[in-house]
Amino acid sequence: MTKKLFTLFVLAGACFLQAPKTMAQAASAQQPSANSQQGIDQDVKLLRQDIRAKKKQLIAANLQLTPDQATRFWPVYDQYTAELSKINDQKYALIKDYADAWGTMTEEQASSLTTRGLAIDEQVAQLRIKYAPIFTKVVPSKTVATFFQLDRRVQMMIDLQLASQLPLVQAQD
């Protein structure tokens, strides 16, 4: 992995992940106006696009694809990323709901957030299961394994940063 791409990705990820913490803190102080929420949504949208671009650069720099393999791999990757982005839309909505409920969260809300979060994790796993044989049709299995290693590592970095920024549910008591 090139050090420059790794650093750029981490910085972009850190910027993206700062927004949910800010949202959780703001929710505990006051409800944001519709305009400020739209501004946050727009900022997050742009940061997510930047993260996807950096992730693609990181994967391109670390997969050893021949020109023919690249021609077949990238369209499948783009489909995979589009589906993953829809799942991540749900994750962002979950974080927004968490921020909205912060400070006044009921047992029912906590249960719902937990169930939804686990369902999102399952959707990501199912998406990877779905795409493993699709990728294997266009590139060798070792390349597919490397891709999924990179994909999971990037996602784990984002999830770790995200988890570190979100306060624990019990901290609101």
HSE at residue 160, side-chain half, CA atoms within 13 A, is 7
Distance of alpha carbon 99 from alpha carbon 23, whole angstroms: 6
Average pLDDT, the chain: 81
Mean pLDDT in residue range 85-90: 94
Domains of the chain: total: 1
Residue pair 117/88 in contact by the 8 Å Cβ criterion: no
pLDDT surpasses 60 at 162? yes
Residue type, 83: E
- Which of 83, 16, 85, 8 is closest to 44 using CA atoms? 16
Query: Is the pLDDT reported for residue 167 higher than 70?
Result: yes
19-28, 47-56, 108-117: which has the minimum mean pLDDT? 19-28
pLDDT at 156 over 50: yes
CA distance 112 to 23: 19
Across the chain, how many H-helices and E-strands are there?
A: 5, 0
Average pLDDT on 48-72 reads: 90
DSSP state of 63: S
Which structural domain, as residue segments, surrounds residue 133? 3-172
Residue 40 has what pLDDT?
67
H helices within 139-169, ranges in order?
A: 141-165
pLDDT reading at 15 higher than 90: no
Half-sphere exposure of 123 (CA within 13 A, CB side): 16
Mean pLDDT, residues 47-53 = 76
* Residue 120 · residue 90 · CB < 8 Å: yes
By CB neighbour count within 10 A (0-12 exposed, 13-18 middle, 19+ buried), where does 63 fall?
Answer: middle
Closest CA to 99 of 108, 107, 109, 111: 109
Inter-axis angle of helices 141-165 and 3-29, to 10 degrees? 40
**More reliable by pLDDT, 163 or 85:** 85
Mean pLDDT of 118-130: 98
Which of the pair, 158 or 86, is modelled with greater confidence?
Answer: 86
Question: How do residues 63-84 score in pLDDT, each as one tens digit?
Answer: 999 999 999 999 999 999 999 9
Minimum mean pLDDT range among 43-52, 112-121, 140-149:
43-52
